[in-house]
């Protein structure tokens, strides 16, 4: 089954290679996709946060992040083909993006972190990082400026790292104004690639 239903969510039951290939096709077609990862911690937050649940439901794909989802799949007799989390996906995503000449914008993390991650990711995977911004701007007054910067950068991939559920809500709220085709919430990913 390509989908694993859990707590009302349709979680994609596919391999990493299939996931990256689907993303590649959507990028080629310039079809906008909001993609979220869920782990048990997210499901826990979702139980007490109706808006987060609605945002996840409205996403285009949800990927299963972590051993907890694998165990749930086993218990519910829908074994998951593969665990798909942002950290594991990044190398495949970046290599594909480099080959397809797509650039990436990194939004989130403490000041300086996305910049450091940008150099490291560029050096390691050869992909162009079109721009960066930290995740501690004033959401009421500065969101417009951030969105303009993302759109002007020409990036076709936007990685948002504010942590769940803030990043998912932000993507959902602003997706109509965002040019990049792929919008993805990636949690603490830039911290992992900084330094
Ligand atoms: N963060 C941010 N803006 C905020 C709150 C958090 O950019 O207003 C960043 C924070 O610096 C960290 C990431 O979001 O890099 C959250 O990482 P965490 O591992 O806690 O997220 P999770 O994996 O739990 O979604």
Give the residues across from 38 on adjacent strands.
64
Average pLDDT over residues 1-22: 93
Q: How many angstroms does the Cα of residue 111 sit away from the middle of ligand 1?
A: 12
pTM of the model: 0.97
Q: In this predicted structure, what is the pLDDT of residue 1?
A: 67
Q: State the residue for tokens 């139980």.
A: 47
Which ligand 1 atom is at minimum distance from the Cα of 134? 7
Largest Cα separation within the chain, whole Å, is 48
Q: In this structure, are strands 61-64 and 129-133 parallel, antiparallel, or unpaired?
A: unpaired
Q: How many angstroms does the Cα of residue 55 sit away from the middle of ligand 1?
A: 18
What ipTM does this complex have? 0.96
Minimum CA distance residue for ligand 1 atom 23? 187
Q: How many angstroms does the Cα of residue 113 sit away from the middle of ligand 1?
A: 11
Q: CA nearest 111: which of 191, 19, 46, 192?
A: 191
Let me know: does 180 contact 93? Beta carbons within 8 Å.
no
Task: Give residue-wise pLDDT tens across range 81-106.
Answer: 999 999 999 999 999 999 999 999 99
Q: In this predicted structure, what is the pLDDT of residue 86?
A: 96
Mean pLDDT score of the chain, rounded to an integer?
96
Separation between Cα atoms, residue 114 and residue 127, nearest integer Å = 15
Is residue 4 predicted with pLDDT exceeding 70? Answer: yes
- The residue ranges of every structural domain in the chain are 3-193
Average pLDDT over residues 49-61: 98
């Amino acid at each position: 089954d390509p989908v694993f239903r859990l707590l009302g969510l349709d979680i994609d039951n596919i391999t990493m290679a299939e996931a990256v290939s689907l993303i590649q096709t959507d990028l080629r077609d310039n079809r906008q996709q909001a993609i979220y990862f869920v782990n048990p911690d997210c499901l826990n937050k979702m139980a007490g946060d109706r808006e987060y649940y609605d945002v996840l439901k409205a996403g285009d794909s949800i990927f299963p992040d972590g051993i907890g989802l694998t165990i749930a799949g086993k218990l519910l007799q829908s074994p998951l083909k593969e665990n798909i989390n942002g950290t594991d996906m990044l190398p495949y995503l970046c290599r594909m993006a480099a080959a397809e000449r797509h650039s990436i914008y990194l939004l989130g993390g403490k000041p300086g972190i996305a910049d450091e991650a940008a150099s490291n990711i560029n050096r390691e995977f050869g992909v162009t990082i079109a721009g960066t911004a930290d995740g501690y701007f004033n959401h009421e007054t500065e969101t417009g400026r951030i969105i303009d910067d993302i759109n002007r950068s020409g990036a076709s991939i936007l990685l948002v790292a504010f942590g769940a559920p803030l990043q998912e809500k932000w993507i959902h709220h602003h997706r109509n104004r965002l040019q990049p085709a792929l919008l993805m919430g990636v949690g603490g990913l830039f911290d992992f690639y900084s330094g």
